[in-house]
Each structure stands twice: as C-alpha cells, then as structure tokens.
Amino acid sequence: MTGRWRPATAVTRAQAPRILRLVDSAVMRALDILLAAALLLVLAIPIIALAIAIRVDSPGPALYRSRRVGRAGREFVMLKFRKMPDGAGGCLLTSPADTRFTRLGAFLARTKLDELPQLLNVLIGDMSLVGPRPEDPKFVALRAEELEPVLRVRPGITGLSQIAFAREAEILDPENREQDYVARILPAKIQLDSMYVALRSTRLNLRVLVWTGVAVVLRRDVAVNRKSAAMGVRRRPSLQPATVEHSSVEPITLEPATQGAALETSPVRLAQGGSR
C-alpha cells in the first residue's frame, strides 16, 4: 500500500512549482484587470479632456493604432494618443524634437501621457501593466530567434527595458535611428526582457510599478541591474550616452549607480520615447 502512494507523492512534489507559477500568473492577471480598471475610472476625465484637445489641435482621430507583436507572436493593435498629424509617415523611431509632432504631441511625448490608452489593451488581454515592451513587426522579423523567449508572456506598458531605456530617443544615432536601434539598443533590451521572463512574479511586477512611479511622478533616474533586476535611484546625473560593447554576453555596458556597483543604468527616465 505504501509503495502505491510514493509515486503519487513524487508527482505532487514535481507539480508543485508549476502549480505555484500558474497561481502567480493568475494573481498577476487579476492585478492587471483591477489596477487598469481603477486607473481608467480615476483618470477618465483627464483622458477625455486629452482626446478632445488632440482633435482640436489637429484634424484626425485622437488615438493612434500601432501594429505590435505580442504573446506567442500574435500581432495586435496597441493604442496611443496621437502625437503627429493623421497619416504622418517617416522613421518608426522619433527624436526628442521631432518636427512631425503636433503642438500637443510634443507635450504628450515628453510627459508620456500618450501611453494612457494602453490601459484598454491591458483590460482586453493584449498587454499587461508590466512586461517586455511590444516591438514593431519589422523589428521582430529581424530578431525573431532572439525574441522567442520574450514573446512567451504578454508585453507591458512598463517594464525593466522601458525603465532602463526611457530616454532612448536621445541616444539613438540621428543619422540612422532604425539601424542603430536594431544593432545596438534592441539586443540590450532583449537581454533585460529575457531576464524579466525568467524572474517574472507578482513581487517583481509590483517592484517595477513602484519604480515606474518614482521615475514618472518624481522624475528621478532609475538604475536597473541587468543581471539581478535590482532597481534603485541613480544619484549621480549623467547625460552621456551609454557605452556599448559588441558582445553576445554583455551587449551594453551602463554606468554604475553611486549607491553600489551592483546597479547599472543607462542615462534614462522611464518609458520609451517617440511614436513607439
């Protein structure tokens, strides 16, 4: 009788980590829905006011619909407030003083308020509050194999790579922004996002949300450790671009934060810039 129960016990123990991960994923999704719904209710009036202001500022819809690649490689439409004239073309990546911005669009890009409509993407399940930043299909096609682990989870409004490359628009090569992004910045983001997928938990998501608040509300530079996901306030300001090493192991070297050599950061402040 005892021998019959031992295999069942062994199976139960083997399944325990998987069950815990499933429970944690369910908790993360529940938090996504609750927080996104709460934020939409609290910010309803500002969101409506911005939508009206955008339409008054320039002809066209208030929302910009951008095709992105999400979980399992499925494409979806990511919502943002429109920052450029309706139908504007050109480079997928914008500069800090992009001439394509409308008057209100420049303000939206600077304050990151253009990201607010993505709370709707969270509610319908295309995105999470925290996760890898969803990439344009063009960039995914160029780095498909490397991005495969990243595409196992829902993309997020904020996350480790969003915090670490908040002022991405300021460090891209102005002569060839897209090529520079794919060759230099995207590999470093993939490294951070892959680490996030490996360490993903409710606790980590809550930490990311807290540091997102520090970066957005308090306007503080946040340091991100690309090996442990530790985050902290960067005390020594620097506007120098990150130093890049062309290495598969260390694709980007960032200046250490003064609070300890364990923290490494780019000279950035939350959320990706530009139309992205």
Longest dimension (CA), the chain: 78
Residue 260 in 3-state DSSP? Answer: coil
Q: How many CA atoms lie within 13 A of 173 on its CB side?
A: 12
Q: What is the pTM of this model?
A: 0.79
* Structure confidence at residue 34 (pLDDT): 97
Give, for 64, the enclosing helix (H) or strand (E): strand 63-69
The number of beta carbons lying within 10 Å of the beta carbon of residue 197 is 14
Q: Round to whole Å and give the CA distance between 51 and 55.
A: 7
Percent of all residues in the chain with a pLDDT value above 70, rounded to a whole number? 79
Domains of the chain, residue spans: 23-265
Q: Is the pLDDT of residue 227 over 60?
A: yes
- Average pLDDT value for residue range 214-243: 74
For 34-60, what is each residue's pLDDT tens digit?
999 999 999 999 999 999 999 999 999
Give, for 231, the enclosing helix (H) or strand (E): strand 231-233
Q: Give residue 209's pLDDT band: very low, low, confident or very high (50, 70, 90).
A: very high
